[in-house]
Structure 1
Amino acid sequence: MTLRTALLGLAFVFMWSSAFTSARVAVADAPPFLILTARFAVSGGLAILIATALGQKISLDRAGWRAVVLFGLFQNALYLGLNFVAVQWIEAGLASIIASALPLSVAAAQLIFGGQRLPLLGVAGLAAGLSGVLLIMSARISGGADPLGVLLCIIGLLSLTAATLLVSGASARGNLLMVVGLQMLVGSAALLPVSLLLEDWVVNWTWSLGIAFTYTTLVPGLAATLVWFVLVGQIGATRAASFHFLNPFFGVAIAALILGEGLSLRDVIGVVVIMAGIYMVQRARA
């Protein structure tokens, strides 16, 4: 792995992990579904404009359109929608820890439903990762974290796991940026009626909202997605996925630095155990 690849991986981890902190800042001043509807519309529109300028076209087969719709609904509307609602009530660090268990949940689902065998190292990694997540969740809930917010994050994680498995065989056929933009527009279209039905469109226009919205739209929303696919193209999906084991650390660290969220010794131990579990699973799958 070259230095450039390692820096790309660290950049992706930072951008992905910071999304929960920027989301928590944004939902303090505006309804979560409204924010996401606008975010997906802006980032999706930008992605399609840039893709068109680069000569990319909307050329998808049935599997491609299925992937666009499923990812738009499961990842953007459900996963991010539920997380944006949840961070109104729970800390960004806790939300990022639950979301960072994606490699564990995908591996577990493949083991249970797909019949894919894991070496002993992978099974031990799943057990370690799950124990780390439960350790932190139990400490936070006993410390006053809202159980409903935790439940929404878990449902969001399961929806993203399902999307990952359902569209694993789809291909963008060179039109990656166009496909990313279309997925975001699907998410925006799905969340708009939900926002109209459930939310009062009352927005407190502040500098912090403007900065958080701009950041979450351009950095975790668009740049992180592109960096991820560049990384996968350079070193392959399995080796790229190994960077995910850093997500719990970065997620908690960014939330503590920007939002001043507290960290206990139990949290630190849980993060280390989760990172070890994700690393063991990725090594076993490699």
Structure 2
Amino acid sequence: MDFRALLMGLAFAFMWSSAFTSARMIVVDAPPLFSLSARFLLSGLIGIAIARALGQTWRLTPAQWRATLIFGVCQNGIYLGLNFVAMQWIEASVAAIIASTLPLIVALAGFAFLGDRLKPLAVAGLVAGFGGVILIMGARLSGGLDPLGVGLCVIAAIALAIATLSLRGASSGGNVMMVVGLQMLVGAVVLIFPSLALEEITVTWTPRLILAFLYTTLVPGLAATWVWFLLVQRIGAVRGATFHFLNPFFGVAVAAALLGEGLGPVDILGVVIIMAGILAVQLSKTPAVTPARR
């Protein structure tokens, strides 16, 4: 892995993880589903405009249309929608930790339902990763952590794992930014209806809300997705996914720095264990390098 790929991976992990802190800022001053729908509308329009400027077309392959709809509903609607709602009651660091278990959930579901074989390193990683989550959540639940918020985040992570597994092999065909933009428009449509039905649309306009909204729209929403696709193109999906092991660290660190969320010894130990588990699972997928014949 070259130095440029390393920087891209670190940038992606940081941007992705920081979204939970900015989301926590947003839901303090605005309804979660309404603000998320508005964010997807803006991100989607910008993404489509960029795609058109790059010469990309609306003519997607059937697999890409399937990816657009499934990810628009499962990732943008269910996964992010439930996370935004949950962060009315739980801290951003908790949501980031639960969401970071996605590689573990995908590996476990692939083994249970799709017949994927797990190497001993992957099994050890799964046990360690989920053990770290249990360690942190057990300590925080005893300290008054809202179980409803935790439950919503768990359902959200499972929904995203289902979408990820259902879209294997659907990333070819070009028009990547167009797919990204259209996914976000699907999310905007999916979320606006429950927002209008369930939420009181009252927004408290503050500098924090405006900055957090713009940041979430442009950085985790568009820039992180773009960097991710560039990283995968450069080093492949398996090696690129290894950077997910940094998500628990970045997610907790950003929340502690910007929101002042508490970070105890048990949290630190749990985060380290989760990181090790995710790294083990991802490394188990990396194909062995065959020595060149002389």
Q: TM-score range by the shorter chain?
A: over 0.9
Give the letter for the 2:203 counterpart.
V
Query: Equivalent residues in 2 for 1:174-189 (5 A)?
Result: 174-189=174-189
Q: CA deviation at 1:61?
A: 2.6
Measure, in 2, the Cα distance between the counterparts of 1:16 and 1:145: 24
Measure, in 2, the Cα distance between the counterparts of 1:77 and 1:28: 20
Contact 2:98/2:153 (8 A) holds in 1? yes
Measure, in 2, the Cα distance between the counterparts of 1:147 and 1:85: 13
Contact 1:238/1:285 (8 A) holds in 2? yes
Contact 1:60/1:172 (8 A) holds in 2? no
Q: How many residues align?
A: 286
Contact 2:40/2:187 (8 A) holds in 1? yes
Measure, in 1, the Cα distance between the counterparts of 2:53 and 2:280: 42
Measure, in 2, the Cα distance between the counterparts of 1:54 and 1:68: 19
Q: CA deviation at 1:177?
A: 0.4
Contact 1:15/1:220 (8 A) holds in 2? yes
Contact 2:61/2:173 (8 A) holds in 1? no
Specify the alignment match of 1:163 in structure 2. 163
Measure, in 2, the Cα distance between the counterparts of 1:168 and 1:197: 34
Give the letter for the 2:238 counterpart.
T
1:36 corresponds to 2:36: yes
Specify the alignment match of 1:127 in structure 2. 127
Measure, in 2, the Cα distance between the counterparts of 1:77 and 1:192: 10
Measure, in 2, the Cα distance between the counterparts of 1:181 and 1:171: 14
Specify the alignment match of 1:98 in structure 2. 98
Specify the alignment match of 1:77 in structure 2. 77
Q: CA deviation at 1:104?
A: 0.4
Give the letter for the 2:130 counterpart.
L
Give the letter for the 2:237 counterpart.
A
Contact 1:56/1:178 (8 A) holds in 2? yes
Measure, in 2, the Cα distance between the counterparts of 1:249 and 1:147: 22
1:109 corresponds to 2:109: yes
* Stretches (4+) displaced over 4 A: none
Q: CA deviation at 1:172?
A: 4.6
Give the letter for the 2:110 counterpart.
Q
Measure, in 2, the Cα distance between the counterparts of 1:233 and 1:64: 17
Measure, in 1, the Cα distance between the counterparts of 2:244 and 2:254: 15
Specify the alignment match of 1:6 in structure 2. 6
Q: Secondary structure at the match of 1:28?
A: helix
Contact 1:71/1:183 (8 A) holds in 2? yes
Q: CA deviation at 1:2?
A: 1.1
Measure, in 2, the Cα distance between the counterparts of 1:3 and 1:100: 24
Specify the alignment match of 1:140 in structure 2. 140
Specify the alignment match of 2:292 in structure 1. none
Give the letter for the 2:233 counterpart.
G
Identity fraction in percent: 62
Q: CA deviation at 1:171?
A: 2.6
**Cα deviation code 1:237-267 (max 9, x no counterpart):** 0100000001100100000000000011100
Give the letter for the 1:273 counterpart.
I
Q: What RMSD over aligned residues (CA atoms) do the two structures have, in Å?
A: 0.7
Measure, in 2, the Cα distance between the counterparts of 1:245 and 1:61: 32
1:201 corresponds to 2:201: yes
Contact 1:47/1:178 (8 A) holds in 2? yes
Normalised by the size of structure 1, how large is the TM-score? 0.99
Contact 1:172/1:179 (8 A) holds in 2? no
Measure, in 2, the Cα distance between the counterparts of 1:58 and 1:133: 41
Query: Equivalent residues in 2 for 1:252-263 (5 A)?
Result: 252-263=252-263
**Cα deviation code 1:114-172 (max 9, x no counterpart):** 11111111101000000001111111111111000000000000000000001122135
Specify the alignment match of 2:218 in structure 1. 218
Q: Secondary structure at the match of 1:8?
A: helix
**Cα deviation code 1:27-85 (max 9, x no counterpart):** 00000001111000000000001111111001113222111000000000000000000
Contact 1:33/1:81 (8 A) holds in 2? yes
Give the letter for the 2:61 counterpart.
D
**Cα deviation code 1:155-207 (max 9, x no counterpart):** 00000000000112213522000000000000000001111000011000100
Specify the alignment match of 1:68 in structure 2. 68
Normalised by the size of structure 2, how large is the TM-score? 0.96
Specify the alignment match of 1:192 in structure 2. 192
Give the letter for the 1:43 counterpart.
S
Give the letter for the 2:127 counterpart.
A
Unaligned runs of 5+ in 1: none
Unaligned runs of 5+ in 2: 287-294
